[in-house]
Amino acid sequence: MRILIFGLGAIGGIFAGFLKRAGHEVYAIGRKRIISTVREKGLKIIGIWGEHRVNLNGVYESVEELPLKDFDLVILSVKSYDTQEALKHLKGLNFKYLLLAQNGYGNYEKAKEVFPPNKLILARVIFGARITPEVEFEVTVCGDDVVIGNPDGAIEEQTLKEIAQIIDSAGVPTRYSPDVYKYLWDKILYNCALNPLGALLETNYGTLANMEETKTLMEQITEEIFKVAKAKKIELFWENPDDYKKFFFEKLIPPTAGHYPSMLWDIKSGKRTEIDALNGAIVRLGKEVGVSTPVNEVITKLVKAKEKLRLKA
C-alpha cells in the first residue's frame, strides 16, 4: 500500500515505522525538528515492541512538498486541536481512505464535514508512545489492540477487516469492530476521569483512585458523561455509571496505577493540551442538549488556567 502519515508525532511515528518495516510505501508529514532527524538518521522505534530502524520513502513539512498526491491510505495523527487545519490540507490529495488515529471527541465529526463517510475510518488507539529527546519513537504501554471501524456502516466490513489485518500484520496490534464508536467513548470516559486530574495534581492514576477527594471527582465526571451520552443518544458499552465505575476502579486502574497522563507532560513542556476534545467536549455537548456538567466545566477551566500559567512561566 501507499500510505501517508499526516502528523509524524509519537503515535504517527509508530504507525509509519511498522508499516514501512512491513514493506509498504510510506510517506510522512511532520514538524521540522522531527523530520530533519528522520531524514538524516532514519526513523528509530524502541520500547515494548522491540527496536527497529527504517527509512521512510519521504518526509516533508507540508502537503505541497509531497512528490505525489495519490494514496491508498492516509493516517491522520495530529492533535485534536489541529484536526480542522489538517483536513483543509488533505482536500488537495486523492486517497481511498482516511484513518483517524486521534484522541477525544469530534475528530470523526469534523472529518465528515469535509469528506464522505465512505472514505473515513475511525480508530481507537490505546497504546502509548513518546518521542525521546534523541528523536526516537518509544512505545511505552499497550492497553489493547487498535480498534478500527466506520460508525456509519459506510464501508464494507470485509474492507475494514483487510485494513485492520494489514496494520496488525505490520506489528501494530489491530482489529475491526462494528462498535468502534463505543470503544472510542470507552477511552473518552477513561481519559476524562484521569487525564485532567493527573495533570492538575501532577500525580499518577493510582494516587487519584486512592484519595477520597479525587475518587469522588472522578465519579462525578463519569456520571455527567453518562447523562450527556443518554441525552445525545450516544451508545456506550455500559448501561449505567455505577457499572462503569466498578469496572473502572477494579479493572482499569490497577494495571495503570503508576501511569502519569500525557496531559501532564504537555503542560510541563509548555504545549497546549487536548482538554477541549475531552472534558471540554462534554461541556459543549451538554449545553447542546440542556444537560448541566458543572464538574467537567470546572475541570476544563482549571486545566486551561494551568496551561496559561505554564506558557507565561
Catalytic residue from among 187, 232, 245, 312: 187
- Separation between Cα atoms, residue 86 and residue 105, nearest integer Å: 16
Distance CA 59, CA 205 (A): 36
Which set of grid coordinates corresponds to residue 190? 477513561
Classify residue 85 as exposed, middle or buried by CB count within 10 Å of its CB (0-12, 13-18, 19+): exposed
Whether 88 is catalytic is no
For residue 70, how many other CB atoms are within 10 A of its CB? 11
Sheet holding 127-131, edge to edge: 52-54, 43-47, 137-142, 127-131
| Number of residues assigned to the chain | 313
SS (H, E, C) 171-228: CCCEEECCCHHHHHHHHHHHHHHHHHHHHHHCCCHHHHHHCHHHHHHHHHHHHHHHHH
Spatial separation of the C-alpha atoms in residues 199 and 101, rounded to whole Å: 23
Residues annotated as catalytic (active site), given as ranges: 187
